[in-house]
Amino acid sequence: MRDTSIINYPANEGTARGYLAQPDGDGPWGAIIVIQEWWGLDKHIMSLAERLAAAGFLALAPDLYHGEVATEPDEARKLAMGLDMPHAVVEMVAAANYLCGRSDVHAIGATGFCMGGSLALALAAATPRVGPVASFYGGRQLPDEQLRQIPGPVLALYGAEDHGIPAEAREHLDRVLTEQNVPHEVIVYPGAGHAFMNDTRAQGYDATAATDGWQQMIRFFKQYLEA
């Protein structure tokens, strides 16, 4: 990984803010938009962007809360409920447009976690500039008409013990993508709960699922984003 920085890019007739992590070398690279959990653009999300950069991808994590970061669930819930979802999608599309305008980027994917897992799918439905999506435990089920706009491919990862996301929701995503002939894979980790990737929060973290989930995501993006 070469360096990291907070950047501003054009969005909504103004600017948006994000955390950019660059790989070593000069590119061109596959770029990945990294979409936050309900906590905000915190150290966990920034560390994931850094790990993706170390794996050879340019990573950009948009700051959808515009500088606010929650540390307690009640605070996070309030921020998530106050998020204007259509506006957030516009900001994520602006991130894709920014990456598309860089000469060192040749393809764009997205990943997201918790709230961001659903938003990553919404982003792919909103712009053809985003191709592969790795969605981690996205709990908000998108309308079918929105899911049908996703070109794919999609990698969706869940914990079997995530009681906030019923099996029916996972099966629904699988069914709609199958009906649309979208290349996709759904992985469910036995014994893992929600937010199993978040190693900053011991309550949900599952080392076995997190290790394999990371490896699956890197395999997926190397398959679909590398030149």
Q: What is the DSSP letter of 23?
A: -
Distances (CA, A) of 30 to 40, 74, 116: 24, 36, 20
* 199 noted as active-site residue: no
Sequence-distant (≥ 6) Cβ neighbours of residue 72 within 8 angstroms: none
CA–CA distance, 164 with 103 (Å, rounded to integer): 41
- How far is C-alpha 98 from the chain's CA centre? 17
* 144 noted as active-site residue: no
Query: Residue 220 in contact with residue 136, Cβ under 8 Å?
Result: no
Query: What is the token pair recorded at 115?
Result: 């709230």
Task: Determine which one of 42, 44, 63, 162 is catalytic.
Answer: 162
Task: Determine which one of 194, 199, 206, 212 is catalytic.
Answer: 194
Going 218 to 18 to 151 to 138, the CA torsion angle's sign is positive
Which residue stretches of the chain are H helix?
43-54, 73-81, 85-100, 115-126, 144-147, 167-179, 207-225
Task: Determine which one of 114, 144, 184, 199 is catalytic.
Answer: 114
* 114 noted as active-site residue: yes
User: What is the maximum alpha-carbon separation in the chain?
Assistant: 45
DSSP conformation letters of 53-109: HHTT-EEEEE-TTTT----SHHHHHHHHHT--HHHHHHHHHHHHHHHHT-TTEEEEE
Report the catalytic residues: 114, 162, 194
